[in-house]
Amino acid sequence: MLIKVLKELFHSELDKIYSKEEVFSFFHMLCEAYLDKSRLELALIPNLELTPEQETLFLKALEQLKRDFPIQYIIGNTEFMDLTFEVNENVLIPRPETEELIYWILESSSKEAKNSILDIGTGSGCIPIALVKNLPNSIIETMDVSEKALTVAKRNALAQKVNIKFIHHDILQLNDLDHDYDIIVSNPPYVRESEKNEMHDNVLKYEPDVALYVSDHDPLIFYKHIAKLAIKRLKKQGYLYFEINQYLGEQLYQILNNLGFEKIEIKKDLYGADRMIRAVKN
């Protein structure tokens, strides 16, 4: 099959499901992954003939996309903070909003500082790896309840040649942390069950529930527990950072205030939604 014919097939099958721009992007992401060719290179060789093996890969991807399977899982990686991360169905696909959280942490952290940092609920390892890349003198630990997620995170750390301590534990089962930290950061599950109807099918069907959803009965369960640990184990003037549910920021603000945190600040994401919060232990 010629590459230009395959491109037409993708549009004829997928334009009714996705926007034309998305289909265009999907197709060229697959070309980068399967053919190692850029958009410009493909434009110069519209009559490129695919091998049977290449054709099979593209057609399999086409069927997966028709079922809303995320393109990042199909190609097996995604970009985050200008780094490439392996992703699969055991980890969340890193979002641009989480990049904003990283940049916020970096704004208040000296590159030369030897901070002790704990990340809770690491998934692909995107937060701790991005932090250690930008704060190379820091000592970083990261935790997750999922062994499969930690396996992916460890491979990402190895690929990025960074040194991180990985901990397999359910944070809700911990009554204390091993030592004190300068920074504690977490992007815990925060989507309420009642908000599932706001999620796209590619998230609902394929991304791990354990990393996404909480009950409507106690949607801030992770935040409350982590904050209680943090108020004990953060060093004086240490920072606590969370990515948050845009609808629950004020409730979380009050929880942190009641625990004794100071300089509490809610920050909006690039879409104008309350998406992260920072607090300081006095």
Predicted pLDDT at 168: 98
Give the end of a domain, one of 67, 92, 116: 67
For the stretch 49-60, pLDDT in tens is 999 999 999 999
Determine, yes or no, domain membership for 74.
no
For the stretch 90-122, pLDDT in tens is 999 999 999 999 999 999 998 888 999 999 999
The torsion angle over the Cα atoms of residues 143, 256, 178 and 142, rounded to 10 degrees, is 20
25 and 101 together in one domain: no
Predicted pLDDT at 76: 97
Predicted pLDDT at 83: 98
For the stretch 147-163, pLDDT in tens is 999 999 999 999 999 99
Question: How does strand 213-214 pair with strand 165-168?
Answer: unpaired
224 and 90 together in one domain: yes
203 and 267 together in one domain: yes
pLDDT of 231 higher than 90: yes
pLDDT band at 198 (very low <50, low <70, confident <90, very high): confident
Predicted pLDDT at 199: 85
Q: What is the CATH number of the domain that holds 211?
A: 3.40.50.150
50 and 116 together in one domain: no
* Cβ neighbours of 130 (radius 10 Å): 26
> Chain-wide mean pLDDT for the chain?
96
Q: Please state the length of the chain.
A: 282
Predicted pLDDT at 149: 98
Eight-class DSSP state of 171: G
Give the end of a domain, one of 41, 67, 93: 67
Predicted pLDDT at 218: 96
17 and 47 together in one domain: yes
Q: 174: domain range?
A: 80-280
Determine, yes or no, domain membership for 73.
no
Determine, yes or no, domain membership for 14.
yes
pLDDT band at 187 (very low <50, low <70, confident <90, very high): very high
The total number of structural domains in the chain stands at 2
Predicted pLDDT at 201: 86
Q: What is the CA radius of gyration of the chain?
A: 21
Q: In the chain, pLDDT over 70 holds for what percent of residues?
A: 100
99 and 134 together in one domain: yes
101 and 45 together in one domain: no
pLDDT band at 197 (very low <50, low <70, confident <90, very high): confident
Predicted pLDDT at 249: 97
pLDDT band at 204 (very low <50, low <70, confident <90, very high): confident
Predicted pLDDT at 221: 98
pLDDT of 136 higher than 90: yes
157 and 272 together in one domain: yes
58 and 142 together in one domain: no
Mean pLDDT of 22-38: 96
Give the end of a domain, one of 67, 102, 121: 67
164 and 235 together in one domain: yes
pTM score, whole prediction? 0.94
DSSP string, 172-220: GG-SS-SS-EEEEEE----EEGGGGGGS-HHHHHHS-GGGTEE-SSSTT
178 and 246 together in one domain: yes
47 and 108 together in one domain: no
What whole-number distance in Å separates Cα of residue 172 and Cα of residue 249? 21
Eight-class DSSP state of 169: -
Nearest Cα residue to 65 out of 24, 98, 95, 103: 24
pLDDT band at 4 (very low <50, low <70, confident <90, very high): very high
